[in-house]
Amino acid sequence: MLSFTSVTFTFPAAITPSTYTSLTTPLTKEQVLQRNHVRIVGQGMPLVLCNGFGYTQRLWQTLVTVLAHNYQIILFDHVGTGLADLSTHDAAKYAHLMGYAQDVLDICRVLDLQQAVLVGHSVGAMMAVLAASRAPSHFTKVVLLTPSPCYLNEPGYYGGYERAELEQLLALMQTDERGWTTLLVDLLLGPLAPVSLAEEVHQCLSTTASLMARQFARVTFLSDHRAAVPSLRLPTLVVQSQEDFIAPAQVGDYLVAHIPQAQLVTLPTAGHCPQLSAPLETLAALRTFLV
């Protein structure tokens, strides 16, 4: 039985994509694309969009509709969510975020991506940090959208939650999935969000196997990846919302202070999903950074 505890990730030295592929038995292109239900839209500079916990590709659709005119958009689902191949779920591999980051690098490898921009949302932003730090030659820039390396309050660090609060949240997931989902949407959007926006977020959340979702939730909320943050050496844009109940403003300040080439943009919106609540402002921040 898996035991979930707070995880501190000891980050290895950066390695090249060729070295990375030698660490495991590489999957074929077809296997990787099927495993993560990879879709490619548009042409131009490649943008890899990395989902956060529980989201499917649908979360990005408003941005994709516009960005696909000028960029090649690579969308995918994490194993255990959306239309990814559930049979490839490995509890040991996905017991830490590096398992998900390896999948991102697999996608980059089989698509032979060079000079791509990696955009990670929520905990997907930490997957982006791990992937771009481990194999930076795939990427030219990184965008971290409402990121957090650690949701727990620790001495000298404000993540937003005490451990007991997160344990209660995770316990609710195990006993009342409907109540958990409703609470999660409230946390993602804030109490004043329009009903139409809440309904859209519900549509973007995955309805996959509960056991996989519970493991993903614990890995998301109880991990601590602050030690990995300084290893990201690429130009990085940190985008946060003015009011975010999941990743408070202090987290954005922390990341900009610890990522060597980071800049911060705070959007005048509430909630953890600005690609839905403030798509025009999010697009403007992305375009300015990508020029």
Residue 20 has pLDDT above 50, yes or no: no
In a domain, 227, yes or no: yes
Within 10 angstroms of residue 155's Cβ, the number of other Cβ atoms is: 4
Residue 272 has pLDDT above 70, yes or no: yes
Nearest to 141 by CA among 22, 259, 257: 259
CATH of the domain at 29: 3.40.50.1820
**pLDDT of 31:** 97
Catalytic residue among 37, 225, 272, 277: 272
Q: Scanning the structure block, which residue is given the tokens 């999941």?
A: 246
Catalytic residue among 122, 133, 223, 231: 122
Per-residue model confidence as pLDDT tens digits over 142-165: 999 999 999 999 999 999 999 999
Please tell me the total count of domains within the chain: 1
Please state the rounded mean pLDDT for residues 259-287: 95
In a domain, 84, yes or no: yes
- Whether 69 is a known active-site residue: answer no
In a domain, 61, yes or no: yes
In a domain, 2, yes or no: no
Quote the domain boundaries for residue 27: 7-290
Which strand (E) or helix (H) includes residue 175? helix 163-175
Whole-number Å distance between alpha carbons of 118 and 42? 16
pLDDT band, very low/low/confident/very high, at 6 (cuts 50, 70, 90): very low
In a domain, 60, yes or no: yes
- Whether 96 is a known active-site residue: answer no
In a domain, 126, yes or no: yes
Per-residue model confidence as pLDDT tens digits over 236-257: 999 999 999 999 999 999 999 9
Model confidence, pTM: 0.89
Farthest CA pair distance, the chain: 50
And the tokens for 285?
Answer: 């921040």
In a domain, 1, yes or no: no
In a domain, 263, yes or no: yes
Catalytic residue among 37, 78, 244, 277: 244
What is the C-alpha R_g of the chain?
A: 17
- Whether 258 is a known active-site residue: answer no
